[in-house]
């Protein structure tokens, strides 16, 4: 029967696979519901397309899982990517045949659900989606699916350009998911109640005409002789030319997760996270997350306090992370830090801020946060090594700011700070990257001076820059991985050969090849779907894991799959785009005005030539017309509220 558990088929095999606990479910605060009457129940299988240890802590999935399950007529369960040994077991199967992709909650086959929703925070999860579809027995291509197959729906940041996976998904949703998953559920319930009129096509049409769900099959894409897109045109009446993102406007009304999932197996984060605000308007030009989540919407200090208390009580976690794109920017972060530290004085509850900007205020915060628990590491992200580079990316951190901040850290007892940079930014030269070494040396010298000690350390961590859709750098050429690697080899050499500092500076960098693939998938169009499928057919899985990622497999597959199209990997990655080129995601509306993005790109190039152009944060300066608020009918929501966190009655 649909919805029946397959656990009895999995259980005898669990002793033969690694970390079997990840397939068992039953975590504290997880939910198992009755399958329900078909016409009255809407069932979602939710997937974070990576292993359990990465997927379980994902906030997006956890929030939607709760929001959906709170409705008595909705069933939502979770599924994760299975490791190769489990895949083998499932494909071999038993006397009933192969064991299908199953949910960890009630071990139901994913193919039995009405909707299969996947959250992509990175494009490197695409092959895991194909593997899950195949294991689930769901036809891989959306065009081949029938009325009984789930609607395959993509969300998350990567869904702002879902074109490379357009052949495999039925729909995509841009932006905040809380409200739209309920709206989608209503449409599906209505359609099922009516006896599924018009089949799959009709339910997708109903979703598409709502204006907030993108259904790729309802858009035709034509290509010009030079390989660029000529036009993207809706092919059904009533389907909008542009599909809009969703913006949740009252975070206090949606205090999720309220029942944090407590993992059974080890996961990448073991803490309870509260999102203290959404959006960022600092205007860093490389940052897709900041651009696509505008405007800033803060959660109030009191709701944050309630969520922290409730989450700790319900989960038993001892660490609380205050999440956002730049947590120290919350207008009441000082009061939040002190209020929470006071509340949990003498208890083993530590608080952490995962991302902080470079200023001395963060040391005070870090001190407050470590008052009741262990001291967390300090990471700052100047992103660019030279002042010129930081002007290009609009990350206006001066060397003076950085040195002053680390001096405060070292003089307050920290022995180690981490600095995060990117390599391959537009207009970057060797000198810009070598400036990272100078900065790190100055940091160490200052640390030794203020602390009077010699065991000061600084870890320089470097990531390769990948231009992303809906950012001012969406037109930029990506640096090829050979040049990136060569630049970083020079940097490492400069650091290592200086005997005074070499041992005090740690260096973290892998290689630039995954960045090239990420670049292909980020700015790709529908033709890239064939590449993804070829990689999966050749065994590609878990591309976000260096031990599973194969650059050669991607390049060989791309060469074969793109043959005859006139375009290749370089065309998608290292080529700079012109203003009038139709970009694959132009029909997907993040709210950002394309002309504003272009002007900001030109400002970046002007900054590279030494012009003094800075885009300030619109939270504190007048609106600079990025377009989001009028387009999406939203506005910035920030404090201060002037409220204080009161001590809890019972501690």
Q: By CB under 6 A, what part of segment 117-156 binds ligand SF4?
A: none
Q: What is the 3-state secondary structure (H, E, C) of 170-219?
A: CEECCECCHHHHHHHHHHHHHHHHCCCCCHHHHHHHHHHHCCCCECHHHE
In the complex with ligand SF4, the residue whose CB is nearer, 24 or 623, is: 623
In the complex with ligand SF4, the residue whose CB is nearer, 245 or 294, is: 294
Q: By CB under 6 A, what part of segment 407-466 binds ligand SF4?
A: none
DSSP per-residue letters across 448-509: HHHH--S--EEEEEEEE----TTSGGGGSPPPPHHHHHHHHHHHHHHHHH-TTTGGGEEEE-
Exactly one of 477, 574, 636, 643 binds ligand SF4 (CB under 6 A); that residue is 636
Phi-psi region of 610 (alpha: psi -120 to 50; beta: other; left: phi over 0): left
In the complex with ligand SF4, the residue whose CB is nearer, 12 or 630, is: 630
Q: Which stretch binds ligand SF4 (CB under 6 A): 19-27, 469-477, 577-585, 623-631?
A: 623-631
Min CB(468)–ligand SF4 separation in Å? 18
Min CB(625)–ligand SF4 separation in Å? 6
- Hey, is 624 helix, strand or coil? coil
Rounded CA gap, 102 and 105, in Å?
9
Min CB(633)–ligand SF4 separation in Å? 11
626 touches ligand SF4 (CB under 6 A): yes
Pair of tokens at residue 610: 């030494």
Min CB(391)–ligand SF4 separation in Å? 19
In the complex with ligand SF4, the residue whose CB is nearer, 378 or 618, is: 618
Q: Which stretch binds ligand SF4 (CB under 6 A): 157-165, 222-230, 546-554, 627-635?
A: 627-635
Min CB(296)–ligand SF4 separation in Å? 7
Query: Could you give the C-alpha distances from 508 to 222, 279, 305, 417, 419, in angstroms and in order?
Result: 43, 29, 36, 13, 10
In the complex with ligand SF4, the residue whose CB is nearer, 188 or 628, is: 628
629 touches ligand SF4 (CB under 6 A): yes
Rounded CA gap, 108 and 20, in Å?
17
In the complex with ligand SF4, the residue whose CB is nearer, 108 or 285, is: 285
Rounded CA gap, 269 and 58, in Å?
9
Rounded CA gap, 16 and 93, in Å?
13
In the complex with ligand SF4, the residue whose CB is nearer, 181 or 618, is: 618
Min CB(174)–ligand SF4 separation in Å? 16
247 touches ligand SF4 (CB under 6 A): no
Q: Could you give the maximum distance between any two Cα atoms of the chain, in Å?
A: 77
Min CB(282)–ligand SF4 separation in Å? 11
In the complex with ligand SF4, the residue whose CB is nearer, 286 or 414, is: 286
Rounded CA gap, 277 and 323, in Å?
8
In the complex with ligand SF4, the residue whose CB is nearer, 445 or 623, is: 623
In the complex with ligand SF4, the residue whose CB is nearer, 117 or 591, is: 591
Rounded CA gap, 152 and 116, in Å?
5
**Using CB under 6 A as the criterion, what x/- string covers residues 254-283 for binding ligand SF4?**
---------------------------x--
The answer to whether the beta carbons of residues 79 and 115 sit under 8 Å apart is: no
Min CB(638)–ligand SF4 separation in Å? 11
In the complex with ligand SF4, the residue whose CB is nearer, 204 or 638, is: 638
Exactly one of 74, 136, 558, 618 binds ligand SF4 (CB under 6 A); that residue is 618
Q: By CB under 6 A, what part of segment 291-320 binds ligand SF4?
A: 294-295
Query: Could you give the C-alpha distances from 533 to 130, 140, 202, 415, in angstroms and in order?
Result: 7, 9, 27, 48
* Tokens 């991985």 -> residue: 481
Q: Which stretch binds ligand SF4 (CB under 6 A): 130-138, 248-256, 599-607, 621-629?
A: 621-629
Count residues near ligand SF4 (CB under 6 A). Answer: 12
In the complex with ligand SF4, the residue whose CB is nearer, 57 or 295, is: 295
Min CB(631)–ligand SF4 separation in Å? 8
Would you state the torsion angle of the CA atoms of residues 574, 577, 583, 584, taken in this order, to the nearest 10 degrees? -20
In the complex with ligand SF4, the residue whose CB is nearer, 112 or 176, is: 176
Choose among 357, 479, 496: nearest CA to 430: 479
Phi-psi region of 25 (alpha: psi -120 to 50; beta: other; left: phi over 0): left
Min CB(629)–ligand SF4 separation in Å? 3
- Hey, is 628 helix, strand or coil? helix
Min CB(600)–ligand SF4 separation in Å? 11
Q: Which stretch binds ligand SF4 (CB under 6 A): 10-18, 234-242, 576-584, 626-634?
A: 626-634
Q: Return the sign of the alpha-carbon dihedral for residues 18, 19, 25, 26.
A: positive
Min CB(599)–ligand SF4 separation in Å? 12
Rounded CA gap, 199 and 628, in Å?
36
Phi, psi (rounded to 5 degrees) for 65: -55, -45
Rounded CA gap, 525 and 522, in Å?
9
Min CB(637)–ligand SF4 separation in Å? 11
- Hey, is 337 helix, strand or coil? helix
Min CB(294)–ligand SF4 separation in Å? 4
Exactly one of 628, 637, 638, 645 binds ligand SF4 (CB under 6 A); that residue is 628
**Helix (H), strand (E) at residue 406:** helix 399-411
Exactly one of 506, 624, 641, 643 binds ligand SF4 (CB under 6 A); that residue is 624
Which residues form the interface with ligand SF4 (CB under 6 A)?
A: 281, 294-295, 618, 623-629, 636
């Amino acid at each position: 029967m649909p919805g029946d558990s397959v656990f009895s088929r999995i259980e005898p095999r669990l002793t033969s696979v690694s970390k079997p606990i990840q397939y068992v479910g039953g975590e504290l605060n997880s939910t198992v519901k009755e399958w329900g009457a078909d016409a009255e129940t809407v069932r979602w299988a939710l997937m974070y397309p990576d292993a359990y240890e990465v997927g379980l802590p994902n906030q997006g999935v956890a929030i939607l899982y709760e929001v959906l399950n709170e409705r008595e007529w909705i069933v939502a369960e979770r599924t994760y990517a299975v490791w190769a040994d489990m895949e083998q077991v499932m494909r071999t199967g038993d006397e009933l045949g192969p064991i299908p992709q199953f949910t960890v909650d009630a071990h139901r086959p994913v193919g039995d659900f009405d909707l299969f929703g996947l959250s992509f925070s990175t494009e490197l999860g695409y092959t895991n989606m194909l593997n899950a579809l195949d294991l689930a027995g769901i036809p891989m291509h959306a065009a081949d699916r029938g009325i009984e197959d789930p609607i395959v729906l993509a969300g998350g940041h990567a869904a702002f350009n879902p074109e490379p996976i357009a052949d495999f998904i039925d729909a995509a949703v841009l932006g905040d998911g809380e409200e739209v998953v309920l709206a989608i559920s209503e449409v599906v319930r209505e359609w099922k109640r009516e006896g599924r009129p018009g089949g799959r096509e009709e339910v997708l049409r109903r979703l598409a005409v709502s204006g907030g769900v993108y259904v790729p099959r309802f858009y035709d894409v034509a290509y010009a002789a030079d390989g660029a897109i000529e036009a993207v045109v809706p092919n059904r009446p009533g389907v909008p030319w542009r599909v809009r993102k969703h913006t949740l406007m009252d975070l206090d009304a949606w205090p999720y997760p309220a029942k944090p999932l407590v993992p059974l197996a080890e996961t990448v984060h073991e803490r309870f996270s509260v999102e203290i605000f959404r959006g960022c308007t600092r205007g860093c030009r490389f940052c897709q997350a900041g651009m696509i989540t505008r405007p800033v919407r803060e959660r109030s200090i009191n709701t944050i306090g309630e969520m922290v208390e409730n989450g700790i009580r319900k989960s038993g976690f001892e660490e609380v992370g205050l999440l956002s794109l730049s947590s120290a920017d919350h207008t009441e972060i000082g009061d939040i830090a002190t209020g929470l530290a006071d509340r949990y004085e003498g208890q083993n509850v530590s608080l952490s801020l995962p991302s902080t900007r470079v200023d001395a205020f963060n040391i005070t915060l870090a001190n407050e946060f470590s008052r009741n628990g262990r001291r967390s590491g300090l990471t700052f992200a100047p992103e660019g090594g030279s002042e010129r580079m930081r002007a290009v990316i609009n990350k206006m951190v001066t060397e003076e700011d950085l040195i002053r901040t680390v001096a405060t850290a070292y003089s307050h007892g920290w022995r180690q700070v981490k600095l995060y940079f990117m390599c391959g930014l537009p207009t970057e030269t060797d000198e810009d990257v070598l400036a990272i070494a100078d900065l790190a040396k100055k940091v160490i010298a200052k640390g030794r001076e203020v602390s009077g000690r010699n065991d000061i350390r600084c870890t320089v961590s470097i990531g390769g820059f990948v231009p992303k859709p809906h950012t001012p750098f969406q037109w930029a050429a990506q640096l090829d991985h050979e040049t990136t690697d060569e630049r970083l080899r020079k940097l490492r050499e400069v650091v290592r050969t200086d005997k005074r500092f070499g041992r005090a500076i740690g260096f973290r960098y892998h290689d630039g090849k995954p960045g090239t693939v990420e670049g292909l998938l980020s700015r790709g169009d529908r033709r890239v779907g064939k590449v993804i499928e070829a990689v999966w057919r050749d065994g590609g899985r878990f591309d976000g894991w260096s031990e599973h990622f194969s650059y050669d497999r991607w390049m060989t597959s791309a060469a074969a799959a793109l043959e005859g199209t006139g375009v290749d990997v370089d065309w998608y990655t290292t080529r700079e785009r012109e203003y009038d080129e139709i970009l694959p995601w132009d029909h997907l509306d993040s709210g950002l005005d394309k002309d504003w993005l272009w002007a900001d790109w030109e400002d970046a190039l002007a900054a590279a030539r030494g012009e003094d152009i800075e885009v300030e944060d619109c939270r504190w300066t007048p609106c600079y017309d990025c377009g989001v608020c009028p387009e999406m009918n939203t506005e910035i929501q920030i404090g201060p509220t002037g409220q204080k966190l009161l001590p809890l009655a019972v501690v």
